[in-house]
Structure 1
Amino acid sequence: MNRIIRIAAALALSAGLTFGAVAAQSASISGEVKKIDEGAGKITLKHGPAKSLGMEEPMTMVYRVKDPAMLKQVKVGDKVTFEAEEATSGYTVTKMDKAK
């Protein structure tokens, strides 16, 4: 009986980790840097659907950045993956990495 409980616990943990990884991937948005405005702390990104933000269609948008240092890590033309959130002042990029 103890072995069955351990197997069930391992399966539940495995399923939970898999779901968490899928949820994290769905929050990531693929895009391309079109413009950087360091003075205003903004970046223009052309991106595919952003389901985490309720955007079903590809579009080009201006985003604020949570950390201005993010703007120094990319240049116009770079492919990126990013996460963003909606705030009262608009959409804000909270995480951004160059695409691999």
Structure 2
Amino acid sequence: MKKTFVSIAFGVALATSGAAFAAGDMENMDMSSGAKQGGAANSSMSHGEIKKVDTASGKLTIKHGPLENLGMDGMTMAFKVKDPAMLSQVKVGDKVDFVAEEINGALTVTKLQKQ
């Protein structure tokens, strides 16, 4: 019985320390999910390359660097576009500067310009 109690206590200690460690790692993260409106962070342009233009779904796939206003690292992902006219302004391979924001739960390109 003593071994069982020790095993349970050890398991609880590990689970608790793991949760505390995870909380510590997230201490410096911006968890606002793009809730800032009109601030300087939202106007900061990110850099990327167009990988796909999907006019049927109204999306651009962009290989991009960090999206500082969203707290995201660089990756390749699809974004909705705020204005469908943006889709005709670019083609695959174009280098772009853009602003992405979370609008109604979807990451959306709100500003776009070719480099």
TM-score calculated relative to the size of structure 1? 0.70
Structure number, greater radius of gyration? 2
Percent identity (aligned): 59
SS of the residue aligned with 2:85? helix
1:85 matches 2:109: no
Q: Return the structure number with greater helix share.
A: 1
Asked if the contact 2:49/2:95 (under 8 Å) is kept, the reply is yes
1:35/1:90 CA distance change after superposition, 3 Å: same
User: Which runs of no fewer than 5 residues in structure 2 stay unpaired?
Assistant: 1-39
Q: Which amino acid aligns with 1:59?
A: M
1:24/1:61 CA distance change after superposition, 3 Å: same
- How many residues were matched structurally? 76
Give the structure 1 partner of residue 44 of structure 2.
27
TM-score calculated relative to the size of structure 2? 0.61
- Separation in structure 2 between the aligned mates of residue 94 and residue 26 of structure 1, nearest angstrom: 10
Q: Return the structure number with greater strand share.
A: 1
User: Which runs of no fewer than 5 residues in structure 1 stay unpaired?
Assistant: 1-22
